[in-house]
A and B are shown apart, each in its own frame.
Chain A
Amino acid sequence: MIELKALNKSFDGIKAVDNINVDIKEGNVFGLIGTNGAGKSTVMRIMTGILKPDSGEVFVDGEKVYNNVSAKSKFFFISDDQYFFATANAKDMERYYSRIYPNFDKGAFYEYMVRFGLDPQRKINTFSKGMKRQVILLLGICSNTKYLICDETFDGLDPVMRQSIKSIFASEIDKRQLTPIIASHNLRELEDICDHVGLLHKGGVLLSKDLEDMKCGIQKVQCVFKTDGEREKAEKLMNIIKDEKRGSLHTYTVRETQESIINAFAGIETIFFEILPLSLEEIFISETEVAGYDIKKLILG
């Protein structure tokens, strides 16, 4: 488990990280979401022992992370703008990382390189942005560390590549309990991979929940009532977060389980009734509007 305890960090008087307390459990995919300047990269860099917090501590499996070889050997960090040695090729990078990470799987790395159509002898500075991202992701995956920490790593990948990487993640998670921690400002990108999400805003954690818990506890209901009376009856039975009406079509976002909604509507006369799954974005919008924030401003910048 990675524990972030009471982290604070300021740069030249500007608070970048404000009292963050987050636990990242093993075997889960943790998504760290926030707008530009929310503090995601700073949190990542503190978590990986690059920056020292002004106060607070980061523990990786119970060990403090800063300047701790044992703790750092448990994760691989992929920065948003990854550095490669000048004039190095993928093979050179593999040699470097395999010296540092004792469990580095060279065979798997070169297999993946072939699979992704990447030439290990070609200089990395001739690769495109997306290709560079692929190389570092493969290096990270093949380092066989317990945690893989990625800062806006999926940017620059085409949709096919994104899916490939996600499937490799899923396979590694199944195989060896890899725990990816992914920071992004793109909710849609994280939706199908994250188990747990944390929302950062202005250096603080606004929200940190399991995605399933979030999805179970909040539903979208679309219906057309026969009469206004039926509508009023239904509305009394639900904990409505949001209500949108288009013509006679009502779309409710309700904080209820699917079962309780079905039970509630059993006695209501409707022309049309459907329970729809919410996207991560919709869940966040709803949750944060409750918190009084205009999430569109937060997410869309």
Chain B
Amino acid sequence: MTSKNSFLVNLRVNAKRRVWTIALSAVCLFFIMPVTMMVNLSSVVKSSNEIYVAQNLANTYREFMISNSFLTVFTTILAIIMAIHGFSYLFSRKKVDMYMSVPVKMESRFWAIVLNSFLIFIIPYIICFLLCLVVAGTYGINDAYIIKMAIISSAVNVVYYMAVYSIAVIAVMLTGNLPVSVLGTGTLLLYEVAFKWLLWGGFDYYFNTYNENSAEIFKTIWTSPLGKIVGFSGEFGTAVSDKAAVGNIVAEPLIYILLMAVIYIIVAFLLYKARPMESCGKSMAFRKTKTTIKRLIMIPCALAFSFFFDSASGGSIFAAVFGLLAGVLITHVVIQGIYEQDLKAAFKDKRSVIYVGVIAGVIFSVLRFDLVGYDRYVPESGKLESASVSLDMAFMGNETFFDEETSGDYFRYIGKENYIFKNMNVTDVDTITEIAQNSADTQDIIRSDNYDNDSIIRGSIKYTLSGGKTIYRDIALNYSECEDALNRLFANEEYKTGNTQIYSPVFDETNRLDVEYNNGAITSSITDIESVIAAYRQDYKEMTFSDIENSMGIGILNIDVYNRSKNYGNYRNCEFVVFPTFSNTIAQLEKQGIVIEPAIAADDVERIEVNYYDYDRELNETYETTDINEIKEIIENSMPNDFYMAISTGDDFNYDYSVTVYIKSDSRFKYDYEVYDRLFLGDKVPDFIR
């Protein structure tokens, strides 16, 4: 006689009890995968221009197989359903009596349920995946690369399913009825994400010097597979779209989510073994965990309330305290009500109210009053190795940067700050420390909200300490008190070469560059690219802070950097401002017959219209002139409206006036356009216009 209590028997018996979940999984996956894909592809064929059909079909196929967020959502929901349904017998005394009294090992039952839950997902998934390939085949769009990437994406999805399933099983083991187990699953999946998001918001709101690069700790999710998959999907989809290397993108989340799945299912198993069977029907299965879980939930809720009331009241500490107390009490009452299924239970466990109030109060105070000196951080000079400084001043906010390390077909743009943090290492520790101290001292002014914004220079800084640790801060410098330090910084070659991308080796590969010079009205192509770039690099190194402090850029070098060779593949556009002191660059440009100045000659102008619009008074007036002196004055005090990167420190466009310049048909120079839009700078509006 064969052993009737064998694991396979348990598997079969359990599967028979879960027919509806098998049907749910199969039917839903069938509709979400091959059917939806077929509908999408059919729609693309009908709506696309004949020339683009193949391209659009390929794009749709790729997105569907690689970045199918709907499938991820369904996977999450199915995993939770399978976990709760599979172990829902633990919620019913009748079922527990039957299952626990029959001669079946607890371990055998547990693993049979888990394995079945996996098979109920994976078998229809594989079948539907293959059906998707068949559908793609009928449209002739199967591609080995996409299939390979789709397999990788599917592997991550399957591992993700197991991790969500395991965490949901933990929730079932900790709870005693269906509604609380659903709440528990949500809590386990989202607790870390929500708490970190809350603290992130708190750091961002309360700390003036908080920099987004410090957000890594908040963005890095350790316990929730949901948090891991969200970051992965977008990054993976982008990499595949760019045909970039995916190894690094996939390996870490795949291994980590797999580890989560393994650890969580082991924890779930241990809880299953330890679970008191008399807890069916109760809210929580383990008495000892009730208080701890409750307090852990109360703390972020109380914080959220205090943040909300603080910000809604415009910073009233009384409102914040009220919010904190309200948050503590409300969550205490709600959770007690769920635990005991009786609102009168709110009067129990008053100790938790006190403990949570104190803990949440301490966290709130640390953020609100910066009790740890976050904003006043200055690295110890002995520990500081180097720094990267990104300043929002002069033209330095607007250079475009691309990520040279992007693999694949496309370069990606990255922000100025990210480029500087990656490429700059200023080792003049004394200057950096002086700048850091100035920023720390300026915080009191910033917190007072009573200062002249024009006297403050903002930016961000990355400190690299000995040992490799990096610390990021936003900085606010009181210009008048750190002018010397800024001058020294600006003269520092390490600062200069990291502050602009022109020194990158990419710009030595002239076969990948397409360069033009735009003086604000006339765009000219540059033939001797190598000489111009070398001259620009020289000028940039020699540039002083004073050079740019009060002067405007006179033109822009537009450089298209191609991924491969020129006019082949994809490119990114970069713009580098030319200042009046860039004598080498100007000489090289003039050598090539390029018009530097004037951008618009006054005698080439037919007329100028200046439009004034006052939004508050709804006033709209126009001034028109053909007088050459007035034309000259207007042009001298205005700039092309797309030359924002050429504006100097402290200046800004005046958007109350718009200037339209009409070029004569028989102009001296060959202008790009007949009409140019310009803007006045600050208060440099001619008197005859005001």
Do A and B form a real pair? yes
A-B interface, 8 closest residue pairs, ranked by CB to CB distance from nearest? A77-B101, A72-B103, A83-B94, A73-B103, A50-B100, A79-B97, A83-B98, A48-B101
In contact, A99 and B4 (Cβ under 8 angstroms): yes
Contacts of A101 in B (CB 8 A): 4, 103
30 contacts between A and B (CB under 8 A): A45-B97, A50-B96, A50-B97, A50-B100, A50-B277, A51-B277, A51-B278, A52-B276, A69-B103, A69-B104, A71-B103, A73-B5, A75-B101, A77-B97, A79-B94, A79-B98, A79-B101, A81-B94, A82-B97, A83-B92, A83-B94, A85-B17, A96-B13, A97-B102, A98-B4, A99-B4, A100-B4, A100-B5, A100-B103, A101-B103
Partner of A82, one of B9, B98, B100, B104: B98
B1 to chain A, nearest CB (A): 6
In contact, A52 and B5 (Cβ under 8 angstroms): no
In contact, A72 and B277 (Cβ under 8 angstroms): no
* A196-239 interface bits toward B, Cβ cutoff 8 Å, 1 = contact, 0 = none: 00000000000000000000000000000000000000000000
Contacts of A50 in B (CB 8 A): 96-97, 100-101, 277
* A229-271 interface bits toward B, Cβ cutoff 8 Å, 1 = contact, 0 = none: 0000000000000000000000000000000000000000000
B447 proximal to A (CB < 8 A): no
Q: What number of B residues sit within 8 Å (CB to CB) of A?
A: 24
* B14-25 interface bits toward A, Cβ cutoff 8 Å, 1 = contact, 0 = none: 000100000000
Report B's interface with A, CB cutoff 8 A. 1, 4-5, 9, 13, 17, 92-98, 100-106, 276-278, 287
A91 to chain B, nearest CB (A): 13
Partner of B105, one of A69, A82, A85: A69
* A78-112 interface bits toward B, Cβ cutoff 8 Å, 1 = contact, 0 = none: 01011101000000000011111110000000000
Partner of B102, one of A51, A100, A102: A100
A25 to chain B, nearest CB (A): 21
13 additional A-B pairs beyond A82-B97, A100-B5, beta carbons within 8 Å, are A12-B287, A48-B101, A50-B277, A52-B277, A69-B103, A69-B105, A77-B97, A79-B98, A83-B94, A83-B95, A96-B13, A100-B4, A100-B103
A52 to B276, CA, bound (A): 7
B186 to chain A, nearest CB (A): 27
A101 to B104, CA, bound (A): 10
* A59-75 interface bits toward B, Cβ cutoff 8 Å, 1 = contact, 0 = none: 00000000101111101
Contacts of B277 in A (CB 8 A): 45, 50-52
In contact, B94 and A67 (Cβ under 8 angstroms): no
Partner of A49, one of B13, B93, B100: B100
In contact, B4 and A102 (Cβ under 8 angstroms): yes
Interface size class of A (residues with CB under 8 A): 20 to 34
A49 to B101, CA, bound (A): 6
Q: How many A-B residue pairs have CB under 8 A?
A: 66
A1 to chain B, nearest CB (A): 18
Partner of B106, one of A11, A67, A71, A77: A67
Contacts of A83 in B (CB 8 A): 92, 94-95, 97-98
A12 to B286, CA, bound (A): 11
Contacts of A45 in B (CB 8 A): 97, 277
Contacts of A97 in B (CB 8 A): 102
A223 to B106, CA, bound (A): 62
In contact, B276 and A82 (Cβ under 8 angstroms): no
A48 to chain B, nearest CB (A): 4
A76 to chain B, nearest CB (A): 8
In contact, A99 and B278 (Cβ under 8 angstroms): no
Taking A52-B277, A69-B103, A100-B102 as contacts, is the C-beta distance between A82 and B13 under 8 angstroms? no
Contacts of B13 in A (CB 8 A): 96, 99
Contacts of A48 in B (CB 8 A): 100-101
A75 to B102, CA, bound (A): 8
A138 to chain B, nearest CB (A): 16
A175 to chain B, nearest CB (A): 22
A167 to B518, CA, bound (A): 108
In this complex, the member of B17, B105, B278 whose beta carbon has the largest number of chain A beta carbons within 10 angstroms is B278
B108 to chain A, nearest CB (A): 8
In this complex, the member of B98, B100, B101 whose beta carbon has the largest number of chain A beta carbons within 10 angstroms is B101
Contacts of B102 in A (CB 8 A): 72, 97, 100
Taking A50-B277, A99-B9 as contacts, is the C-beta distance between A82 and B103 under 8 angstroms? no
- Which residue from chain A places its CB closest to the CB of B2 in the assembled complex? A102
- Which residue from chain B places its CB closest to the CB of A81 in the assembled complex? B94
- Which residue from chain B places its CB closest to the CB of A101 in the assembled complex? B103
Contacts of B97 in A (CB 8 A): 45, 50, 77, 79, 81-83
* A14-55 interface bits toward B, Cβ cutoff 8 Å, 1 = contact, 0 = none: 000000000000000000000000000000010011111000
A96 to B96, CA, bound (A): 16
A102 to B9, CA, bound (A): 13
A88 to chain B, nearest CB (A): 9
Contacts of B101 in A (CB 8 A): 48-50, 72, 75, 77, 79
A51 to B96, CA, bound (A): 10
B86 to chain A, nearest CB (A): 15
Contacts of A67 in B (CB 8 A): 105-106
